[in-house]
Amino acid sequence: MNCIIGVDIGTTSTKTIAFDLGGQVIAKADAKYPILYPEPTYCEQDPEEILRAVVSTLRRVTDELKKGSHSPLGVSFSGAMHSLIAMDEQGKPLTNSIIWADTRSKEYATRIKHSPEGHTIYLRTGTPIHPMTPLCKLAWLRDHSPDVFRRAHKFISIKEYVFRKLFNQYVVDYSIASATGLFDIRHLRWCEPALAAAGITAERLSELVPPTHVVSDLADGLAEALGLEDRIPFVVGASDGCLAQLSANAIRPGRASLTIGTSGAVRVAASVPAQDAHERVFSYVLTEGTYVVGGPINSGGVVFRWFRDQFAAPETEEAARTGTDPYDLLIQKATVVPAGADGLIFLPYLLGERAPIWDADARGVFFGVSIGHTRAHFIRALMEGIVFGLYSVGLAVEENTAKIDVLYAGGGFARSDFWLQIVADVFNKPVRVAESVESSALGAAAMGLLALGVLKEMGQVEQMLPASREIAPDAGRHATYRKNYDLFASLYGKLKEDFAKLSELAAPAPRQ
């Protein structure tokens, strides 16, 4: 029987999964790798280690398939966005992969954003100008590593690196290109003013291809090493963010995907890109004529994890003793506090924030603490504050696209019905949650089936997705949350300048 392999090259691991044509998982393997922090603002990964993870997980999956009756029609890819690797003429990396979380180019981002071309670059590339983007990283590299910058023959992302090593060619799909800040999302070509700001020409970037582009001449001996047929099609695929939209079942109008994993995002699919005067949201190309419009937040599950690590010794110990999950125990405490946490409001910006405020200096605040507040109030306020952050993104997305009718939830937080209910109530919209989704790998597999003609259009991807259940909003709780949210939004406006002053004071080094 036929199947399709999706390879999801993520930040913490590569997950390789074979799905049957109905979307059922038949074999899977994953391999983790570390993030390197050579300097406080640097976040890097070793591209060779990631390539090894891709090769080894593929091999484990094909070995598994050989034991059963499935044979793969093809292999399709999902890649993390915003990474940058400088490559020399011989195809050797001159740098590590500089990943999305790296903020070394903060000053360059500010400079380009406020330059006369800044707003035009945002509108044409669809990417908010931020240190995460290869645009700003290149401008930094030009000044701080002039030798590497000069010697670099190509500047690529991690998924392009894998294709270069497997096929000896440099190809980049429209959606990964969209996340560079260098790509003209309307004309599907590199964007001249952005290239000028980065100090490069288009020859130093890969060939642009649609996500359905197929390559099939694996470098010598590789097919055998991977346990694959010689000319098996490899589909270039797309970015993890855009593919997750496909697997969240949120391609149709009125549907949004909402994720809280380590970070978070709200996204919709649209036929035209956003034109946001305030530069709050991104518009990435998924396929020609389909844009994924949305905003990412830093302050997702990582904030909850911080609370667990710093303030939840009792729950952590109880969980270890009883074999339960400390998050579940923390959430149980929060359930006894009413919606709105009795007026305790939390700004979750421990790591600065991306959408919608794009302010690296923003920090966390508990506001309105009174003598009656208990630790349970802090837990509830923290969970509500993360959702308020996403709600502010949702409002900006709606303003730039169309009304959202239903939210498709994903990420680690979706394990908690209580948290899903907060989302439904804050947004005042139904939330749908699938029992289990391997989101980006499934999105890659679906894109693979579209490329190979097994699926005829994106709407058909729905038949591969698991069933979902719905959580309804409560109008009364929404009214309470709306009052807290109004204060949440106005607080940030009042504190903005003080956050900038605060950033000049010494701060503890980030945990690694």
List of residues contacting ligand ADP (CB under 6 A): 12, 261-262, 301-302, 304-305, 325, 327-328, 331, 411-413, 415-416, 419
* Whole-angstrom distance, CA of residue 417 vs CA of residue 22: 27
Q: Which residues contact 476 (CB under 8 A, 6 or more apart)?
A: none
SS3 for 470?
strand
By C-beta, is 7 or 235 nearer to ligand ADP?
7
- What is the closest distance, in whole angstroms, from the C-beta atom of residue 502 to ligand ADP in the complex? 25
- For residues 225 and 240, give the distance between their C-alpha atoms in angstroms, rounded to a whole number: 26
Cβ proximity to ligand ADP: between 79 and 261 the closer is: 261
Q: Which helix (H) or strand (E) holds 149?
A: helix 146-151
226 close to 249: Cβ distance less than 8 angstroms: no
Can you tell me which residue has the tokens 């999305």? 100
* Minimum gap (Å) between residue 260 Cβ and ligand ADP: 6
Alpha-carbon span 289 to 304, nearest angstrom: 37
User: Using the 8-state DSSP alphabet, how is residue 460 labeled?
Assistant: G
**Residue whose beta carbon is closest to ligand ADP:** 412
Burial class (CB in 10 A: 0-12, 13-18, 19+), 320: exposed
**Residue with Cβ nearer ligand ADP (295 or 301):** 301
Cβ 67 to ligand ADP shortest distance, Å: 29
Is 24 in contact with 437 (CB distance < 8 Å)?
no
> What is the nearest approach in angstroms of ligand ADP to the Cβ of residue 100?
12
Judged by CB, which is closer to ligand ADP: 327, or 358? 327
Q: Least separation, in Å, of the C-beta of 315 and ligand ADP?
A: 12
* Contact in structure between 15 and 21 (CB atoms under 8 Å): no
CA distance 22 to 27: 14
We find the least distance from the C-beta atom of residue 189 to ligand ADP, in angstroms, to be: 32
Angle (nearest 5°) at CA 143 between 122 and 161: 70
Question: C-beta of 330: minimal distance to ligand ADP in Å?
Answer: 8
Burial annotation 402-417 (CB, 10 A radius, 16+ → b, else e): eebebbbbbbbbbebe
- For residue 151, the minimal CB distance to ligand ADP (Å) is 34
Least Cβ distance, residue 415 to ligand ADP (angstroms): 4
| H or E segment and range at residue 13 | strand 13-20
The amino acid that residue 249 corresponds to is N
Read off the DSSP letter of residue 359.
B
From the CB of 288, what's the least distance to ligand ADP, in Å? 29
307/139 Cα distance (integer angstroms)? 36
- The answer to whether residues 219 and 166 touch, using CB atoms and an 8 Å cutoff, is yes
Distance of closest approach, residue 410 Cβ to ligand ADP, in angstroms: 8
Least Å distance, CB 38 to ligand ADP, is 22
41: which residues sit within 8 A by CB, 6+ positions away? Answer: 102, 103, 104, 106
Q: At what angle do helices 158-167 and 47-67 cross, to 10 degrees?
A: 60
Whose structure tokens read 């939209």?
Answer: 245
431-434 sheet: strands from edge to edge:
282-287, 290-297, 264-270, 255-260, 406-410, 431-434, 468-471
Contact in structure between 407 and 432 (CB atoms under 8 Å): yes
Tokens 């074979």, located at residue: 18
Two structure tokens written together for 502:
């605060």
Using the minimum distance from each CB to ligand ADP, give the nearer residue, 32 or 114. Answer: 32
